[in-house]
Structure 1
Amino acid sequence: MFRSLILSACLIGVVLGLLVTAVQAVGVTPILLNAEQFEGAGEPAAHEHSGGEQAAHHHHEEAAGGHHHGDDAWAPEDGAERTFYTTVSNIFAGIGFSAVLLVVMSQLRERGKMMLSPSRGLLIGALGFLAVFVAPSLGLPPEVPGSAAAPLEARQLWWVFTVLMVVAGLGLVGLARGWMKLAGIPLLAIPYLFVPAHEGPLFSHPDPQAVAALTELHQQFIWATGVTNLVFWLLAGVLSAIALKRLYKASADQYDEATA
């Protein structure tokens, strides 16, 4: 069963990676390329890049993390090379998150908490979207290149902490009984007590027109990454539920044949 779960996660990850890359090529990548034209102006040395091309970003990614680099740091060339590395990273993200969903759904099914169906898969996928993208984005929205932000390490730690707290909170609210359900509510709010915020303007570009353009691109980027992550998580939930249902059916058929 474990081998089948891993294989299913890999197959689902490939499908998710290819689809998300196609969605990003339409909605996310053009925004990033436009924002990169303004990046670095007026800054002496280092720049902050967004990793918004997922997931899955991010969120958080995410699917909406980032990476810090200097002027001499390697980066893939625009075009085929960039698309290739984006596709590979999306596939690995798809495999990892699909494996998590498969394990969660399997455990819920074993404990009689969940029936395996596409609609239940949509629900689990929506909860994953809330925990991994929406919750972190409420504190740290996805950033376009050229954005000013708090130190990367602080944001990464906060992202991980937020996802863990939200997952635990949603789990208690949805699965616990009695007063234990109420214990999940504070967990949903705790991360927002100490968001690693940046002090000062979001964009330090010296040209007001460029700042206005970047601000508009930033808003578009938030919506584009949100839609991309929503597609990713809903499809991941549905495919995971379908795959897991078939695995259990195949296992039951093999058991019947062995005992016949």
Structure 2
Amino acid sequence: MFRKLVLSACLIGVVLGMAMTAMQSAGVTPLLLAAERHEVSATPHAAAVPHHGHSHAGQAGHHHDDSAWAPADGAERLGYTAVSNTLAGIGFTALLLVVMNQLRERGRLKMTAGHGLMMGGLCYLAVFVAPSLGLPPEIPGAAAAALESRQLWWLATVVLAAAGLGLLVLTRGWKRGLGLPLLLVPHAWVPAHQGPRFSHPDPQAVAALTELQHEFILASGLTNLAFWLLAGLLSILALRRLTDTAHGHDDVPG
């Protein structure tokens, strides 16, 4: 069963990676490129270096090193984005399949499309919404706190949010009461940047970047929602197929 789960995670991850790349190309990447043009105009010496480092969750940092290698814009950048999204899709799907299979074996999860979408929605809340309430997705040129502190906070928030949502949705009695505190704990301290969001000298550029920031948050939210709902649906379909196959083998006379 473990090997089949791994294979399913790889196949679903490829589908998710390609779908995510297509959605990002249509809705997210144009906003990033527009923001980078303002960023480059503020720092002319950086014009020769493409700006990257934006995770699909929208939480990656924007610290660019002129001496660092980066893929060229166009097909090369798209290819590396597709590979990154595919690897992320495989990793997230593997975790999701393991959790869903454990819940299925304990009778806590039905093999229906609705429950698959529910699990995808819970993952979306834990991995995207909960961290975004403290650290919204950022476009190039936005000021932010130290990358290391943001990464640690993001990881802690995702883990606590997943645990809190799991308690709220999957448990009963006094254990359910622990869910809300776990959701709130990370927001007691958020490594936020102090000062203006954009330091561009041109007020019109700041206004444009602010508008792009709002559009980027919305586009990232919708893209991630589609990613997780698709992940939940494909995962439940894969588990249903695996369990039906296993039951078929069990029914064959020895």
State the TM-score, normalizing by the size of structure 2. Answer: 0.94
Instruction: Tell me which residue corresponds to 1:123.
Output: 118
Count the aligned residue pairs: 251
| Residue 4 (structure 2) aligns with | 4
State the match for 1:191 in structure 2.
186
Give the structure with the larger helix fraction. 2
Unaligned runs of 5+ in 2: none
- Report the 3-state secondary structure (helix = DSSP H, G, I; strand = E; otherwise coil) of the residue aligned with 1:66: coil
Q: Using the alignment, how far apart are the partners of 1:208 and 1:67 within structure 2?
A: 21
1:235 aligns with 230
**What residue number does 1:15 align with?**
15
Kept in 2: contact 1:45–1:70 (CA 8 A): no
Show the 5 A alignment for 1:193-208.
193-208=188-203
Between the aligned partners of 2:77 and 2:15, the Cα distance in structure 1 is 19
SS of the residue corresponding to residue 32 of structure 1 reads helix
2:61 is matched with 66
Contact 1:121 1:241 in 2 (8 A): yes
Task: Tell me the C-alpha RMSD between the 2 structures.
Answer: 1.8
Question: Do structure 1's residue 218 and structure 2's residue 220 form an aligned pair?
Answer: no
Can you list the C-alpha shifts for 1:39-83, whole angstroms capped at 9, x where unaligned? 155569999x6744x4xx22xx5xx32353311211111100000
Q: Quick one: distance in 1 between partners of 2:42 and 2:88?
A: 34
Native 8 Å contact 2:104 2:110 kept in 1? yes
Q: Is the 8 A contact 2:62 2:140 kept in 1?
A: no
Whether the 8 Å contact between 2:62 and 2:141 is mirrored in structure 1 is: no
What's the secondary structure of 2:179's corresponding residue? Answer: helix
1:153 aligns with 2:148: yes
- Matching residue within 129, 134, 142 for 2:137: 142
Secondary structure in 1 matching 2:73: coil
Q: Partners of 2:114 and 2:52 in 1: how far apart?
A: 33
Distance 1:71 1:203 in 2: 20
Structure 2 vs 1, CA of residues 178 and 45 (structure 1 numbering), >3 Å: closer, same or farther?
Answer: farther
- Deviations along 1:59-112, whole A, 9 cap, x unmatched? xx5xx3235331121111110000000000000011011111101110100000
**1:182 corresponds to which residue?**
177
The residue that corresponds to 1:25 in the other structure is 25
The answer to whether the Cα contact below 8 Å between 1:114 and 1:120 also exists between their aligned partners in 2 is yes
Equivalent position of 2:109 in the other structure: 114
Gaps in structure 1 of 5+ consecutive residues = none
Q: CA deviation at 1:235?
A: 0.2
What one-letter code is carried by the residue in structure 2 that aligns with 1:205?
H
| Residue 166 (structure 2) aligned to one of 154, 165, 171 | 171
